[in-house]
Amino acid sequence: MAVTSYRTSLLAVAAAAALAATLSACSSSGGSTSNSVGSPAAASSAAATSGSAMAPFGSACSAVPSSGAGSFAGMAQDPVATAASHNPALSTLVTAVEKAGLVDTLNSAKDITVFAPTNAAFAKIPTATLDSVLNNKAELTKILTYHVVPGQLSPSQLAGTHKTLEGSDLTVSGSGESFTVNGNAMVVCGNVHTANATVYIVDTVLMPKS
């Protein structure tokens, strides 16, 4: 009986050690239940990642409301066209998107980068020319889709040449918190997140090559 009891104890200890080793290995591999979505460990990891992410930057970011649907936190909850509609500085862009019939297209797109011209950017265009473009759906669609790039580009990925939804390329130069698009459009508030897009607000309307 004593021998049997001793062997049983040894087996129990060995089994406990094996279980502990297995849990430890799973924890480090990321496949463990302790790292599943919703667990304290996962929440802590997500918070650390979020905390280290680069915040929106640029001189125009100071005009963004600190709370409500138009704030950075509020815009992050809505798809990009809806989020833009909450920002008074983008009202002309929102009107253009509506006239082109692109609201649903942009809102349903998955993972895009949008270069969003401010009202002041549109004001640089002569009134007669702007009115003509706003009433020409084909031309308006071509211009607006030139402002959209597939994939959500982080600031570290922004510099370079990117294919737009319109089909031609745009080029971003710069680094850190200073970027220029196509040599003349400055990013005045960048790395703004919506539910499906990363937005870089620019001070000049981008024009595709004809």
What are φ and ψ of residue 160, in 5° steps?
135, -175
Provide the pLDDT for residue 52: 35
CB 167 within 8 A of CB 148: no
* pLDDT tens for each residue of the chain, 210 residues long: 443 443 434 333 344 433 333 333 333 333 333 333 233 333 333 333 333 368 999 999 998 988 999 999 999 999 999 999 999 999 999 999 999 999 999 999 999 999 999 999 999 999 999 999 999 999 999 999 999 999 999 999 999 999 999 999 999 999 999 999 999 999 999 999 999 999 999 999 999 987
Q: What is the dihedral of CA 147, 153, 154, 160, to 10 degrees?
A: -80
Give the model's pLDDT for residue 22.
34
Identity of residue 208: P
Pairing of strands 197-202, 112-117: parallel
DSSP designation for 209: -
Alpha carbon distance 155, 52 (integer Å): 13
Scanning the chain, the segments in alpha helix (DSSP H) are 2-29, 40-52, 72-75, 80-85, 91-99, 103-108, 119-123, 127-134, 137-145, 155-158
Question: Which pLDDT belongs to residue 54?
Answer: 85
pLDDT score for 210? 72
User: Domains in the chain, ordered, with CATH?
Assistant: 2-52 (no CATH), 59-202 (2.30.180.10)
Residues paired with residue 117 on neighbouring β-strands, in sequence order: 202
**71 close to 56: Cβ distance less than 8 angstroms:** no
